[in-house]
Structure 1
Amino acid sequence: MESICPLDVQFAPEISALLQSPPSHKAQEYFDNLIATRPCQGIKVKVDGDHGKGVYADAEFKEGELVLKDQMLLGSQHSTNKMDCFVCGSCFRFIGSIELQIGRKLYFQGLGVSSSNPCHSDSSDAEDDSCFIGDANLGECSASSSNGKIPVSEEVVESLMNGQLVLPHSDKFSLPLPFPCSGGCGEENYCSKYCADIDWQNCHSLLCTGEKSKSSCRRALSKFVEHANDTNDIFILAAKVIAMTSMRYKNLKEARLKEVGSVASNTATVDLSLLLEAWKPVSMGYKRRWWECIALPEDVDKCDEVDFRLQFKELAFESLQLLKAAIFDAECAPLFSLEIYGQIIGMFELNNLDLVVASPVEDYFLYVDDLPQSPRKEVEAVTRPILEALDDDYPIYCQGTAFFPLQSCMNHSCCPNAKAFKRENDRDGQATIVAITPIRIGEQVTISYIDEELPYEERQKLLADYGFRCKCSKCMDEKVN
């Protein structure tokens, strides 16, 4: 495949403008305003034109103290994880009920699919794809023992999913009721109308496969999603960036037309000033082409590196063509260039933080296990068969990947003073950064991008994929010794 995108040539000046780093004072203003909207304001982002960005303490932090809760710019649950965890498509809180979470898990287990055995629909029509739908019809399926787990009856699974079977003490783990996507796709559900509206306005209206979708071709969109699920779901995040920027562009244009009292024209000319403004949140992230920054696997010889990276470039090109067929907008044409697409994916490759939300199902069974002996036996008469049917699958977390604008400004150290760490009360997809050593006012807040316990040379090799050689105190000491 020849991965050539005509838009890269046609819109070269616009693409160059989009990829140009924002002026230091503009970036500083952006992050100052962003921090003002966050609950944790004991930090400051410092923007240096020569040395990039860094996060610094504006207050003292004790070991174990919360430094930052950062709201994601965009995030996505892994497609295979959707069968194990039923969560809000915007904030990624668990939704429904303990019974529904367990029932869905047993249902998909009965189909022979799980996070370790993904199921992808063969149909390109979203309307026919019920694999990830929260209220899927049970049909003839029930949890079976084909995978070594002890089965439960189809009636039990159905009763859990439709709410007829209420587990003892599950009311202590109440979850928000599912709020369906207003576009009718059946693939996204939310914890509230607020989250549903935010996601719809932000990007989902373009990426919805339902009847009210603003996509120009829902069949093409289904093919794009299927391709991403089969190859790399980082493409879903890239699509969200393009959809979000397109939506912001349209809103900015509408606001400008109202301000000047003009009527929208049918012209497809790119308004670069508006496109740059719509792109601003993405412009702040560090970027490189995906196929250039992705780590070379150990089983790939150095002499095969060129072919390896070309394969990833062609994979991105294939994904982009499917996305263009689904949501292309001539006024935002530069966003659909391979250069921009590759840089967006590269930004995620270099800056993403795992999206992890603990399962309330695990909390529920731990609660049952901690009950006094007498009431526990009575409760376990109901829960034990279900737990045995779930086997080791019951504590699976919601897993995905996301971009967090403030967390992505944190620099690396092999002896960091903070880390991403979820606490017991963190039940959504926000990034939680906790101090692991005392941090003084004015000190830079650092995290580790890699396993800092690895030997010096291995650490340096891994960090080379991020485009730098670490010179932290630990590396300097080990280099000398």
Structure 2
Amino acid sequence: METICPIDSQFKDQISAFLKPPSLLEVQDYFDQLIASKQIRGLKVKPNGEYGKGIYAEEGFEEGGLVLKDQMLVGAQHSSNKIDCLVCSFCFRFIGSIELQIGRNLYLHDLGVSMNNECTWQTSSQILKDCYQSHSSGGEDYSDVEDPQNFGECASSSSKNKISLPKEVVESLMNGELVLPYSKEFPLPPVVSCPGGCREAYYCSQSCAEADWDLHHSLLCGGETSKTLCEALSKFTQHANETNDIFLLAAKVISFTILKYRKLKVAHQKSATSDASNCDLPLLLEAWKPISMGYKRRWWDCIALPDDVDACAETAFRMQIRELAFTSLQLLKAAMFDKECELLFSLEIYGHIIGMFELNNLDLVVASPVEDYFLYIDDLPHSEKVRKHHLDIFILFSA
């Protein structure tokens, strides 16, 4: 039996207005204003009813010159990648140090932490807290973190058969006591903690931390919320990590829209009299405008049928996807529901947000300074390499 979302029925007309595709003229006007506000020269966005939107050059560019630099609307590091790479939660730049990157990778993999392990996320999120103290610009105290030895039971049997570095060596890499040769040639920005103290998000600079807080993270941070909301956020995140981390992007979109709506309403109230407790639909539509420009369909309607699903089971498969989205939405609603923006928590809108990412996702690969570091070591003359007493670390890690 199909699950019914009561918000879909309650706000049917408003939801239709939200999901109505903008006209070509509205799209053109939006991008013209966006380009003008960012002072981008030589480029023009032109919508086409048949092929979508295209970026056109209106003047010549020098070879190797910068054509466009812009901020992504929302982005997230793949959950499975968080064990291997410590990056800024806003711009996704590698942070900490070469030693920290290598040490935490060795440490987590030595424990057998895998995204398929049932105790993975609780394990990794706790262990990582120990890694950053000496690499943080704020000197935070992590003395309340549980002893990583307590998580040894999560190690997989396969990890126990691998050759491991001594625990003391790995810990000295993470806490900065051990400095690898030539690592200073690959400096990384220090670790900046979340302004809300959630210890799940880390940044390369205070500006990135503040920007993420202002745009998305303040509603998704478990540091300053009540214990109940913190647990609700944890359940939502765990469900996303175990099923599909596309839900994390959808949550950022809803958070972005709510926060932008609140700012617009504050500015509007300074110049006009309005009811502070009721939803101002035109302002909410204005806050939603950047999202409205993306092509959308319901996730369960547009997702490709997997090869292992028979065509006769397609209807059941799409119903399962819909139920999965509804479960995620209920968990998100428990974590950050806003009564004034209630219609954003409709399954119809949530499904279209996820479908937008399904149809428009772009995976970005950020060059790893650790890989560059090992390439640098490999290119050293043999006489230089054999004189370095930490060569065994390079061999073990690269193997």
The 2-side partners of 1:274 and 1:344 are apart by 19
**Residues 121 and 388 of structure 1: CA distance in aligned 2, closer, same or farther (over 3 Å):** same
Unaligned runs of 5+ in 1: 393-481
Instruction: State the structure with bigger RCO (CA 8 A, min sep 6), 1 or 2.
Output: 1
Distance in 1, Cα, partners of 2:206 & 2:64: 35
Q: Does 1:153 align with 2:162?
A: no
TM-score (norm 1): 0.73
Alignment map for 1:27-106 (pairs within 5 Å) = 27-36=27-36, 41-49=41-49, 52-60=52-60, 67-106=67-106
**What's the CA shift for 1:25?**
2.7
Partner of 1:108: 108
- How many Å separate the matches in 2 of 1:215 and 1:46? 48
What is the alpha-carbon distance in structure 2 between the residues aligned to residue 132 and residue 230 of structure 1? 19
What letter matches 2:85 in structure 1? C
* C-alpha separation in 2, matches of 1:62 and 1:288: 39
Paired residues of 2:240 and 2:247 also in contact (CA < 8 A) = yes
Of 153, 175, 178, 2:191 maps to: 178
For the Cα contact (< 8 Å) 2:87–2:93, is it kept in 1?
Answer: yes
1:36 is displaced (CA, Å) by 4.2
Deviations 1:187-226 (A, max 9, x none): 100001100011111110110111x248982211111011
Equivalent residue letter for 1:209: G
Q: Is residue 201 of structure 2 the alignment partner of residue 196 of structure 1? A: no
Residue 451 of structure 1 is matched in structure 2 by none
Residues 68 and 114 (structure 1), Cα distance of their counterparts in 2 relative to 1, 3 Å cut: farther
Quote the Cα distance in structure 2 between the aligned partners of 1:214 and 1:229: 22
The structure with the largest helix share of the pair is 2
**Which residue among 297, 308, 312 is the counterpart of 1:288?**
297
Contact 2:42 2:58 in 1 (8 A): yes
Query: Does the 8 Å contact 2:109/2:159 carry over to 1?
Result: no
Select the residue among 361, 377, 383 that pairs with 1:368: 377
CA RMSD of the aligned region, Å? 2.8
Measured after TM superposition, the shift of residue 117 of structure 1 is 5.8
Instruction: Name the counterpart of 2:322.
Output: 313
Which secondary structure does the structure 2 equivalent of 1:112 belong to? coil
Residue correspondence of structure 1 range 264-279 to structure 2 within 5 A: 265=276, 267=277, 269-279=278-288
Shift of 1:297: 1.1
More strand by share: 1
Deviation track 1:391-414 (CA, whole Å, cap 9, x = no partner) reads 35xxxxxxxxxxxxxxxxxxxxxx
Structure 1 residue 184: Cα displacement: 1.0
In 2, distance between residues paired with 1:79 and 1:51? 32
Partner letter of residue 46 of structure 2?
Answer: K
Specify the SS of the correspondent of 1:47: strand
Contact 1:289-1:346 within 8 A present in 2 as well = yes
The residue number in structure 1 matching 2:221 is: 208
**For 1:331, which of 340, 360, 374 is the aligned residue?**
340
Q: Measure the CA separation in 2 of the matches of 1:219 and 1:190.
A: 23
- Amino acid in structure 2 at the alignment position of 1:233: D
Distance 1:14 1:3 in 2: 21
Distance 1:148 1:64, change over 3 A: farther
**% identical equivalent positions:** 59
**Residue 249 of structure 1 pairs with residue 261 of structure 2:** yes
Deviates most, 227-236 or 370-379: 370-379
Instruction: Give the total of aligned pairs.
Output: 382
State how far apart, in whole Å, the 1-side matches of 2:246 and 2:385 are.
44
1:56 deviates by: 2.2
CA distance in 2, matches of 1:171, 1:149: 29
**What secondary structure, in the 3-state scheme, does the structure 2 residue paired with 1:74 have?**
coil
Deviations 1:249-279 (A, max 9, x none): 111111111223x5863x2x32110100000
Residue 110 (structure 1) shift: 1.7
